[in-house]
Amino acid sequence: MKIIIINGPNLNLLGKREPEVYGATGFEEYFSQLQMKYKDIQLAYFQSNIEGELIDKIQEAGFSYDGIILNAAAYTHTSVGLGDAVKAVTTPVVEVHISNTFNREDFRHVSYISAGAKGVILGFGLQSYELALQSFL
């Protein structure tokens, strides 16, 4: 089984960025732990701060992978293009967020991703990614 985690803007700063909201662990470290735990799954990881690169990656993976785990970060709340990309591909996409976006600012209550996603997991910290992974198993 081939699963890719796609992370959007500023998630390269996990561990350093607002640790009270996003925790103290960097994503590479967390990703290594996931790879060790789920050895039978071909896990890939991609991060970009650039909207078009995220769209390119969804298109690239979206007809051959078994699942996409997408944290579009701030673009979740702004990007029609990313929402359309999620709808365009055949690979199921699970939307994840580290924080519970519904107990934060109003602008975080809107998602352009959710309508095209298979499901949404949010608010469980980095564990949100593992829960999304388990949803594909």
Per CB under 6 A, residues contacting ligand DQA are 10, 71, 73-74, 76, 97-99, 101, 108
Minimum distance, C-beta of residue 42 to ligand DQA, in the bound complex (Å):
24
Active site residue 97: yes
DSSP structural state of residue 39: T
CB–CB of 63/88 below 8 Å?
A: no
Catalytic residue status for 75: no
**Closest C-alpha among 33, 46, 32 to residue 3:** 46
Q: Please identify, using beta-carbon distances, which residue of 5 and 98 lies nearer to ligand DQA.
A: 98
CB 116 within 8 A of CB 79: no
Closer of 35 and 127 to ligand DQA (Cβ): 127
Least separation, in Å, of the C-beta of 8 and ligand DQA?
A: 7
Beta bridge pairs of residue 135: none
The residues assigned a catalytic role are 22, 97
